[in-house]
Amino acid sequence: MNGIMEFFKNCVVYFMNLGEWGLFTLAFMESSFFPIPPDCILIPMCLIKPEAALLYATIATIGSAIGGMFGYAIGKFGGRPALDFFFKKQQEKIVEVERLYNKYGVWAVGAAAFTPIPYKIFTIASGVFKMNLLGFTLVSIAGRGLRFFIIAIALILFGEKIKANLEWIMIIAAILIILFYVVVCKWKDIKASFKK
């Protein structure tokens, strides 16, 4: 366990030392095959230089969206074996992801892009399940952008005070997005129920 923690710590320090390129690279890698989220260096970078926080959020969004397309390509050309290879110890997550795809389609990617759910499972699965690439890309940009810009803006406004509550903020925001989706998609049914 200590070895894993040390590896993560060393990775974070390494990417932090690369500055903006490190942020871009980590965001790219995390969206397709790497376990460390870019938030680990986005947050301290925003705290160190708050005037550049929106630039950092933009870099993280672009890197993550391009990495997501790379994950999509892994899934598309590697097929189900690629998904099983990357997540062989997480078969129950693959089954859950497939269920979410069948039920929600592109919105499953949006939720994964925005929340702490491992995004790379969804990017690779999007290629495996042959999701529409344009829809996948747009939802990835929107979801990841929303996530990173909320972090950047929150850190600009509240600095250190907000750090401890970021995960809760992301969860609440994800719930609001899901509620928005349900209301928009079910609006006709909701209106019809009021007319009865």
Query: How many structural domains is the chain composed of?
Result: 1
Its domain, for residue 181, covers 2-195
User: What is the pLDDT confidence band of residue 27, given thresholds at 50, 70 and 90?
Assistant: very high
- Which pLDDT tens digit goes with each residue over 72-100? 999 999 888 887 777 776 677 777 777 77
**CA-closest candidate to residue 116, choices 174, 34, 47, 53:** 174
| Cα 196 to Cα 186, 188, 191, 193, distances in angstroms | 16, 13, 9, 5
Task: Express as a percent the part of the chain with pLDDT over 70.
Answer: 74
**Of 57 and 99, the one with more pLDDT:** 57
Q: Is 103 a residue whose pLDDT tops 80?
A: no
Mean pLDDT, residues 143-161 = 86
**Of 163 and 74, the one with more pLDDT:** 74
Mean pLDDT, residues 134-155 = 90
Note the pTM of the prediction, 2 decimals: 0.75
